[in-house]
Structure 1
Amino acid sequence: MLALFHATLGVTAPVFAMLFLGVLLKRLGWIDEAFINTASALVFKATLPTLLFLGILRADLSTALQPALLGYFVLATLGSFLLCWAWAVWRVPYAERGVFTQGAFRGNCGIVGLALATSLYGDYGLSLGGVLAGVVILSYNMLSVIVLALYSPGVKSDPWSLVKGVLSNPLIIGVLAALPLAGFEIGLPHWLLTSAGYFAQMTLPLALICIGGTLSLASIRQGSGLALGSTLFKLVWLPLLCTLGAWLCGFAGRELGILFLYFASPTAAASFVMARAVGANHQLAASIIVLTTLGAVLSINLGLFVLTWLGWI
């Protein structure tokens, strides 16, 4: 368990390092609002879709395609989304419902979840986690587009506008573009993949620096109650309910362990980028990311300890 704690910390510590770098650069005056706006738009429209495209393209579909597990994850994700949305409708101010819901159900599976699955289960974790990440990316982004559009100022929320919003979302386009290439094993030139890899590697540093540059003590204090509520859903209630549901459905061992890691991953940095892109409360989104990333170091290790003690994984 000590080794697992170090593995978790090894994934989350660099995230915090980039967040604090963004805070420092903003304090020094080396970045400003204009930089944050431009960099956030670049991440949303270009570097993050490229990263998602490459992630799908490199997934090992032949050895890790498990329809039952993928189907359960989609249903659990939809159920989690509806639960968080229902709570937001009941307890959260109207303007903040989209950001609260997105922060509560959308995990950083492509980075934290996949890294921990690989650390825990080696090549099997990488293969199954990679395929699962493709499902995660598509489902998370579709649901996030819908809930953010419904509560964001200036974004049309009629059915046709929602459909267009989903289909025109750069993150979803990146995933859909990769699916036929991965499914039919169509290769791309090595130089193109290398160049795309260089470009995609900018995603996480840029997104996290922008989040850090947006953070302020005043904004964290102002939205602390909502951020904490969203964090409790992301790190406690949803992993508990979804992992228990998976066990009752017959999942155990490595499959249950990987499902738990994906359900328990902290809120994705992409939630900040999407909130900012539609004019929602991106400061609340940033606060949720910080709180869940910090809390995940404890909650993930505690969850794995309990699952191992119970003999479920």
Structure 2
Amino acid sequence: MAFTTVLQAISFALVIVFPNLALMALGFGLQRFTMLNQTFVDTASKLVFNYCLPCLLFLSVIKSQIDYSEQITLIGAGFLTTFVLFFGSVAYAKWRVPDVRDKGVFVQGVFRSNMAIISLSVVTNAYGELGTSVGAVYMGVITILYNVLAVIALSGTSMQRSAGLSQQFFGITVNIIKNPLIIALVCAFVYKGLDLPSLPKPIADTGQLLANTALPLALICTGAALNVKSMFTLSGVSMQASIGRVIIAPLVAVMTGVMMALPPLYFGVLFVMVASPAAAASYVMAKAMGGNDVLAANILAFTTVFSMISLTVGMVLLRLIGWV
């Protein structure tokens, strides 16, 4: 039975991850054959960051049936896990990541997971419609936290070290307020909170078309910026960040779930949401905010492959123990 469960989990993981890998491979191949240039990647990344991803987040929130009051414990566990990973990676980057352009990208690669694409699909497969609704609540709240922390990390590390504390705080605040992803999420929660009528069909359809291009275009750009040699350099920053995402993040999620005595459903949702690969949006945000986009692409590519292994193994072990 356990062997069959492992095979089923591995098969499902491959089905989920293959489209992402295929699109990144397409971008990488097009770049190698000079069918994509840096101008295209820069322009497409700005399009995804400013329009496509905001539409995806806005529409996903207003269409979901979100009830926050029933899931305070799970959301609290998500906040705790995220803060542990964020502040832990900030402390590590301060001492072990020398290049200022790499620091924020490293931090983002460790704490930020691909909830909207990988995690939600795995949760739905594991727990059905109930898992989907629970995962949507978690994703809606934690995505805002992710984006705020990502802006803080990328803003703080890209500024000159000579800048004063007040200047840095002002710059971070401005970047948070102006961030299109945060604006989209806040607008979506306000829209739902006011119980406004559905969007007119022409507007909803246009937004959905933009939302549908977000992930494919982001992954193609990621593949085009990929540096394979750097990705597999064991001493490189990308490998250190990938270890944090693939190994450390799932362990922190497990410790949080045990400490907070989460019931099996919430434990499983927390683990899957945290243990998934680095978020596709991390590359787009790093590029838009002047971070090391090649490093972000390498972290995304490496964790997209190896996080699925750690996620699968982790879920099998947790299920055998009886925690999920």
TM-score normalised by L of structure 1: 0.95
Instruction: Work out which of the residue numbers 17, 22, 26 in structure 1 matches 2:27.
Output: 22
Instruction: Work out which of the residue numbers 97, 111, 117 in structure 1 matches 2:117.
Output: 111
Cα offset for 1:184?
Answer: 3.1
Instruction: Work out which of the residue numbers 158, 178, 187 in structure 2 matches 1:168.
Output: 178
Cα offset for 1:296?
Answer: 1.5
1:45 aligns with 2:55: no
Secondary structure in 1 matching 2:236: helix
Secondary structure in 2 matching 1:202: helix
Contact 1:99 1:275 in 2 (8 A): yes
Contact 1:74 1:135 in 2 (8 A): no
1:186-243 C-alpha deviation (Å, 9 max, x unpaired): 2222332222111110001111111111113344356862111111111111211222
Identity over aligned pairs, percent: 35
* Counterpart residue type for residue 122 of structure 1: G
Instruction: Work out which of the residue numbers 21, 25, 38 in structure 2 matches 1:33.
Output: 38
Cα offset for 1:287?
Answer: 0.5
Secondary structure in 1 matching 2:183: helix
Give the equivalent residue in structure 1 for 2:140: 134
Contact 1:47 1:200 in 2 (8 A): yes
Task: Check 1:198–1:265 CA distance in 2 against 1; reply closer, same or farther (3 A cut).
Answer: same
Give the equivalent residue in structure 1 for 2:158: 152
Residues in 1 aligned to 2:170 and 2:262: alpha-carbon distance in whole angstroms: 38
Which residues of structure 1 form unaligned runs of 5+?
none
Residues in 2 aligned to 1:19 and 1:214: alpha-carbon distance in whole angstroms: 9
Q: Which aligned segments of 4 or more residues in structure 1 are displaced greater than 6 angstroms?
A: none
Instruction: Work out which of the residue numbers 201, 209, 218 in structure 1 matches 2:212.
Output: 201
Instruction: Work out which of the residue numbers 99, 106, 109 in structure 2 matches 1:100.
Output: 106
Deviating more after overlay: 109-118 vs 144-153: 144-153
Secondary structure in 2 matching 1:228: helix
Task: Check 1:193–1:246 CA distance in 2 against 1; reply closer, same or farther (3 A cut).
Answer: same
Give the equivalent residue in structure 2 for 1:306: 317
Cα offset for 1:137?
Answer: 1.2
Residues in 1 aligned to 2:229 and 2:307: alpha-carbon distance in whole angstroms: 24
Cα RMSD of the aligned pairs, angstroms, is 1.8
Contact 2:233 2:239 in 1 (8 A): no
Instruction: Work out which of the residue numbers 307, 316, 319 in structure 2 matches 1:296.
Output: 307
Cα offset for 1:30?
Answer: 2.0
Residues in 2 aligned to 1:58 and 1:10: alpha-carbon distance in whole angstroms: 25
Give the equivalent residue in structure 1 for 2:194: 184
Residues in 1 aligned to 2:149 and 2:130: alpha-carbon distance in whole angstroms: 28
Deviating more after overlay: 85-94 vs 180-189: 180-189
* Counterpart residue type for residue 259 of structure 2: L
Residues in 1 aligned to 2:30 and 2:234: alpha-carbon distance in whole angstroms: 23
Deviating more after overlay: 275-284 vs 177-186: 177-186
Contact 1:153 1:280 in 2 (8 A): no
Contact 1:107 1:265 in 2 (8 A): yes
Give the equivalent residue in structure 1 for 2:8: 3
Cα offset for 1:75?
Answer: 2.2
Task: Check 1:30–1:72 CA distance in 2 against 1; reply closer, same or farther (3 A cut).
Answer: same
Task: Check 1:13–1:224 CA distance in 2 against 1; reply closer, same or farther (3 A cut).
Answer: farther
Secondary structure in 1 matching 2:323: coil
1:276 aligns with 2:281: no
